[in-house]
Structure 1
Amino acid sequence: MAGIGFTLRKMTGRGDLWGIVQAYSYSAMLSSGPWLFTIMALVGITFLSRYLVTWDDLLLFRTVITYNFSFSLVFCGPIVMVGTRLLADQIHDDTLDRAPSLLFSMMLAYVLLVSAPMIWLYGYAADLTPAQRAAAIVGGYLIGLIWTVVVFVSALKNYTFVSGIFFAGMLLAFFACGFLLTGFGATGLIWGFNAGLALILFGLLAWIFVEYPALPGDLAILPRQGRVYWVLGVSGLSYNIAIWVDKWVMWMRDDSVDVVAGILRTAPYYDSAMFLSYLFTIPIFAVFFVNIETSFFEKYNRFYKSFQKHATYSAIESYQREIVNFTLLSLRNLVVLTGLLAILIVLSAAFILETMNIPFKEIGVFRFGALGACLHVLSMFAMVFLSYFDFRKPVMLLNITFLVANFTFTWLTAAYFPLHGMGYFLAAGLTFILAMSCLVYNLKRLAYGAFITNNPSI
């Protein structure tokens, strides 16, 4: 964390308003840049295509991209979580010559996991042309492989490069789609978007090969060493399913869904309102990112390094109090910021939807989605703190709880239009309460957890 932390500390330490604005703006771009560029590219492609292709072609393109993001995130969830921990171990043990082997092992694992369901869906079940089948399958591979590769570039803390390559890739996707859509319709849109994804993937790989020049040799390193971290795998899988399960339920139970290519179901009014609500959490990400990368890491590092320096119990206890006080204070400030943001979103929901040209009937979904997204992000931050202290099983149980609650509440409310979005909101609220309670409980036992419960030698 040191590299980006130095930059942010320099900005915030200047003591002027402009430095603080710079720090939080920089933080927002680094934490959410790839996400923002992808959304802007998809919005731009949609507006570009609206009057140049048929609605059926545009709907097919959007549906395939949505399904590919859904598939890739779910199948990559356990791979990325376990792979990230193994990479962290390699950094700690100074064995980064194994990093290329881990990367290719993760990429291979994703390809093996996703191939059968994706080829069945696009290759046989969906009513697509051969070119569309190939484009959809290639896109699914590209998106998932990008998730695995980003782990390694992020470990280098080169956020500027990640944001830059995503910007270049999405810019290429926009122009490629514009060039291909008039002659090839939905097929051209999907292949054009794939061109941008390919630039991102190979650009990230090129940077990794520069930083990790060793040749990959052990492609079984992920399953062999990752078995120790099976809890992280379950946690990653359940979390990513939980993010999508309310959409899946609505696709199955909502009477107003669109059916594309004979089998691909989507609920555009629900999906668009929910995805829009996620965008308003970016300021919260920025604040959290600054806190984590500056003050928190200094206290976290001092606490754990005191063990190696054989500090006295009173010194360790004082460092623990620093961490506890800072963590709770940071979350309190985030809760206040999130509460103000949620109130602002609810009150201005009609104006936001009108500005974004989204039907007014989605206002209920948007309000519930925005409130749920705020609570979801806060619970995620609590789980991030728990993960820093290696409380793996509590995080896994929280993610499973979120998954079960989101499915159950969404299923129960799906038949009532005024309650659409409430299932996600209730699940996020329940998870937030449990996550905060779990964090407070474990913070009080931080030293005990470090020496006893999380000590692999015991």
Structure 2
Amino acid sequence: MAGIGFQLKKLVGKEKFYGGLRAFVYSSVIISGPMILCIVQLLIGQKLLSLSGAELFERELLLSTTMYSFVFSQVITGGLLMVVTRYVSDQIYMNKEENVMSSLYGSIAIILVIGGSISTAFYSFSPLGTTFKIVAYLLFIELLITNILAIYISAVKKYMHIVKAYGFGAITSISAMGLCLKIFNTLKAEYFLVCMAAGFIIAIVLLIRSVKERFPKANKNYFDFLSYIQKYPSLFFIGLFYVISLFGHIFIVWSSDIQEKVGDTFVMAPLYDVPIFYAYLSIIPAMVMFVVSMETSFFEAYKKYYEKVSGEYSLGEISEARKKMFHVLTRELVYIMEFQLIFTILAIALGTTIIPLTIEQRAIFNVLVIGNYFFIIMFVLMQILLYFDDRKGAVIVISTFMSVSLLSMTVIVLFGGNYGLASFISGMIGLITAFLRLFHYVKNHEYYTFCSQPLFPVDKTSFMDRFAHRMNRLNGGERGN
């Protein structure tokens, strides 16, 4: 998200209301595009299956396949995405943009090998039909590519192109679903999976074209970004712990007594899966507002402070710029918390009136929504720590949240209780940890700014540097300096 806000400030600055509204819509699509596309297609597909009189098994098969594809595509790409994000940012900053497109090809290749192998092994043990497994495999692969593309499209300034890409993908998928309803008498889940795959491939092609227009040059340093795993291992673990935190507790519930098997392939737990699906939707506003509000406003104060630090300014001017920077940070953080609180209350109200939940699911949902409020504010604080390059602090925050989440859910599964309590407890402890770390950083900001950097550059060639160099040589390229 951090790369998007730098350009959105131009939209906000043009027109106060309409510019801000347009920036909010654009960032919503950019940040949540794949998830929105999945949700829209899934809900429409489920509705059409129901209207056509398809068996309950087909609806469950569509739901479970889509959910598995989305969740595990996030898990597999989670660690690498943080590393690639830093690499792409550095290459743009150093005016080595020819490395950006090459890293896209290289990261997609690595993820497809890893994800493709895991998916092939998973479906090889499934008794489902061959056609169904091929289509499910293709959808999973497309989601892997879409996750990687999400990093690169944040550097593309043509936001309307991105919105159109996801829009055309959704229109293609929904139109194909409607066509299936007219052609086939008996609808099957695999028909709609084909439609979803068609929608994603349209979006992928259009997104890659937009990225290539922004970064037209490419060299053969496809795997140069791998050196960043050794250079910034903390980023890899931040991304990995983040996705484990998001989905680890779900896996624990799937292994409990409330599990249900679909097609002897997928393990689900509808009692928990349904409320957590709706609860996740409640945190999207804060994610978007972080980009639109925090970064568009905070970046200017942040930039001015570090310009004064690196320039010829007096200590008083630097101190004044520092005070202003943290004043803006506090103001925008409070605004985000208040903004998300409104949607949290609204989500709880909808959960008891409109959202189709059972009484037991409502009890879980209400606790989950509150827990997710703690989580998303913690997530914002963690992004702020990364803004100041406090990678150690970010690791402490996300690892604490992950550990408490997994431990508390394990205890609940073993001894009973409201499944939403795991999210509530881990979110609260994670948020406290994030606030304490941020307070510590702010209190010692001068030390981290002026005294924590190495006095002399360290020149060493790591294992990942050598590995990336060899991979690039095999492709006929040369490592960038």
TM-score using structure 2 length? 0.87
Between 46-55 and 432-441, report the one with greater CA deviation. 46-55
Contact 1:258–1:267 (8 Å) recurs in 2: yes
Contact 1:27–1:289 (8 Å) recurs in 2: yes
Q: How far has the Cα of 1:415 moved from its partner? A: 4.9
Alignment-derived partner of residue 259 in structure 1: 261
Give the alignment of 1:351-370 within 5 angstroms: 351=353, 355-370=354-369
Alignment-derived partner of residue 425 in structure 1: 424
Alignment-derived partner of residue 242 in structure 2: 239
Alignment partner of 1:259: what SS? strand
CA distance in 2, matches of 1:244, 1:109: 22
Give the alignment of 1:303-322 within 5 angstroms: 303-322=305-324
Spell out, residue by residue over 1:255-280, the C-alpha distance to the aligned partner (whole angstroms, 9 max, x if none). Answer: 33220121310112311211111222
Between 108-117 and 78-87, report the one with greater CA deviation. 108-117
Alignment-derived partner of residue 443 in structure 2: 444
Amino acid at match of 2:363: G
Contact 1:34–1:167 (8 Å) recurs in 2: no
Spell out, residue by residue over 1:369-398, the C-alpha distance to the aligned partner (whole angstroms, 9 max, x if none). Answer: 111111111000001111111111111222
Spell out, residue by residue over 1:407-442, the C-alpha distance to the aligned partner (whole angstroms, 9 max, x if none). Answer: 111111125665121111211111111011111211
Contact 1:281–1:374 (8 Å) recurs in 2: yes
Give the alignment of 1:29-428 within 5 angstroms: 31-52=31-52, 53-122=54-123, 124-180=124-180, 182=184, 185-253=188-256, 255-351=257-353, 355-415=354-414, 418-428=417-427
CA distance in 2, matches of 1:142, 1:286: 24
Spell out, residue by residue over 1:236-257, the C-alpha distance to the aligned partner (whole angstroms, 9 max, x if none). Answer: 011011100111111111x332
Between 273-282 and 382-391, report the one with greater CA deviation. 273-282
Q: Structure 2: where are the runs of 5+ without partners?
A: 458-481
Alignment partner of 2:261: what SS? strand
Between 308-317 and 321-330, report the one with greater CA deviation. 308-317
Spell out, residue by residue over 1:335-362, the C-alpha distance to the aligned partner (whole angstroms, 9 max, x if none). Answer: 33434443444355311xxx23333331
Alignment partner of 2:15: what SS? helix
Identity %: 21
Contact 2:280–2:372 (8 Å) recurs in 1: yes
Amino acid at match of 1:360: I
Contact 1:30–1:160 (8 Å) recurs in 2: no
Amino acid at match of 2:208: L
Change (3 A) 1:177 1:348: closer
Q: How far has the Cα of 1:57 moved from its partner? A: 1.4
CA distance in 1, matches of 2:175, 2:76: 30
CA distance in 2, matches of 1:343, 1:452: 44
CA distance in 2, matches of 1:175, 1:456: 61
Contact 2:13–2:19 (8 Å) recurs in 1: no
CA distance in 2, matches of 1:293, 1:329: 12
Contact 1:390–1:454 (8 Å) recurs in 2: no
Q: How many residues align?
A: 449
Change (3 A) 1:74 1:34: closer
Change (3 A) 1:356 1:381: same
Amino acid at match of 1:58: R
CA RMSD of aligned residues (A): 2.3
CA distance in 1, matches of 2:217, 2:20: 40
Q: How far has the Cα of 1:33 moved from its partner? A: 4.9
Q: Structure 1: where are the runs of 5+ without partners?
A: none
Between 305-314 and 137-146, report the one with greater CA deviation. 305-314
Q: How far has the Cα of 1:300 moved from its partner? A: 1.1
Spell out, residue by residue over 1:106-131, the C-alpha distance to the aligned partner (whole angstroms, 9 max, x if none). Answer: 11121122222211111x22221111
Amino acid at match of 1:273: P
Q: How far has the Cα of 1:27 moved from its partner? A: 5.2
CA distance in 1, matches of 2:21, 2:211: 32
Change (3 A) 1:163 1:218: same
Alignment partner of 1:414: what SS? helix
Amino acid at match of 1:356: I
Alignment partner of 1:50: what SS? helix
Q: How far has the Cα of 1:93 moved from its partner? A: 0.3
Alignment partner of 1:217: what SS? coil
Correspondence for 1:9 among 7, 10, 13: 13
Larger helix percent? 1
Amino acid at match of 1:276: Y
Amino acid at match of 2:421: M
Amino acid at match of 1:146: T
Amino acid at match of 1:7: L
Change (3 A) 1:184 1:201: same
Spell out, residue by residue over 1:219-249, the C-alpha distance to the aligned partner (whole angstroms, 9 max, x if none). Answer: 2212234320111011101101110011111
Contact 1:391–1:454 (8 Å) recurs in 2: no
CA distance in 2, matches of 1:3, 1:298: 12
CA distance in 1, matches of 2:308, 2:302: 10
Spell out, residue by residue over 1:44-69, the C-alpha distance to the aligned partner (whole angstroms, 9 max, x if none). Answer: 12111113222111211111111111
Q: How far has the Cα of 1:90 moved from its partner? A: 0.5
TM-score using structure 1 length? 0.91
Spell out, residue by residue over 1:286-324, the C-alpha distance to the aligned partner (whole angstroms, 9 max, x if none). Answer: 432222232101011111222332323322222221122
Between 69-78 and 210-219, report the one with greater CA deviation. 210-219
Contact 2:111–2:144 (8 Å) recurs in 1: yes
Alignment partner of 1:193: what SS? helix
Contact 2:64–2:266 (8 Å) recurs in 1: yes
Alignment partner of 1:247: what SS? helix
Change (3 A) 1:250 1:158: farther
CA distance in 2, matches of 1:267, 1:454: 49
